[in-house]
Amino acid sequence: MVPTGFANGVATHELISMNSLTIFALAFLCPLAGVFVGMTFRRQLPEHHLSRESTDVIKLATGLMATLVALVLSLLVSSANSFHGTVENEYREALANSIQLDRYLEAYGPETREIRTLARSIVVQAFQQRWPDDDFGPKEAARATGREPLIDLERRILELTPTDAAQKWFQSQALQLIQGLVRVRQLLLSAESGRPMPPPILVVVLVCSAAIFASFSLFVQPNPTVVVALGASALAVAGAVFLIVELNSPFGGLLQISSAPAHAALAALPR
């Protein structure tokens, strides 16, 4: 039976998208809130708090904080992008292994026809549950065998009786490559959780960005040019946070891995 996580593919995609957009909005509003706080305090602070010496110290502190936030964001974006690329490469490799499994079973002999059909059914089920809006052919129903499909597939391969060295080799290779199907399902299941951004880091980034923008607006009279500049900067911070969240969810969200490789792999498997 296909894990229940696959059945929630659409809901998972919408949840991840909603979370990333919510975090984007939060990351955009926090700096703007800092701007509002800075402008409000500017009118209430005594004049000597805004002396040249005080201004220089605050600018130095703000510059240090901005550098640290920029460093954290750049490292998180780089890490998330590497994670996304690694998962995509493993996913393509797993699909290739699934195709190679079918080729070895075909080379074994005609007695593997039913096993190849079962392997293809497992792959199609996984694809249909993960991308329900894509056309992967007729709906595949779960087989009532009482066993997990991949375990049933392995048992059937083990039950083959090789008659020569070639068949024995193809059987052993097929048992190794069946891990490709396992990997496909594991990677697709990762859409449910992804690799969420650690909440403490997110909180620190948002708080620091609010403080930085508060200091920006503390020493300048508000005008349209300043507001536009601060708004664009806040948008850049929010965009970086959005990228981190999206790239950490390879099979969900707005930047999810395409289903095109799945279609290509399915086209290479005989019906």
Q: Residues in the chain with pLDDT < 70?
A: 1-18, 48-50, 140-147, 180, 185, 187-194
pLDDT computed for residue 14 by the predictor: 46
pLDDT computed for residue 7 by the predictor: 38
Which residues lie closer than 8 Å to 102 by C-beta, 6 or more apart? 116, 119, 120, 268, 269, 270
pLDDT computed for residue 1 by the predictor: 36
Structure tokens of 25?
């909005």
pLDDT computed for residue 169 by the predictor: 94
Q: How far is CA 73 from CA 66, 159, 243, in A?
A: 10, 53, 10
pLDDT computed for residue 128 by the predictor: 82
Burial of 175 (0-12, 13-18, 19+ CB in 10 A): middle
pLDDT computed for residue 225 by the predictor: 87
pLDDT computed for residue 2 by the predictor: 37
pLDDT computed for residue 78 by the predictor: 94
pLDDT computed for residue 153 by the predictor: 86
pLDDT computed for residue 242 by the predictor: 92
CA dist., res. 35 & res. 37, Å (int): 5
pLDDT computed for residue 6 by the predictor: 36
Task: Identify whether the C-beta of residue 181 lies closer than 8 Å to the C-beta of residue 265.
Answer: no
pLDDT computed for residue 190 by the predictor: 61
pLDDT computed for residue 11 by the predictor: 46
pLDDT computed for residue 222 by the predictor: 78
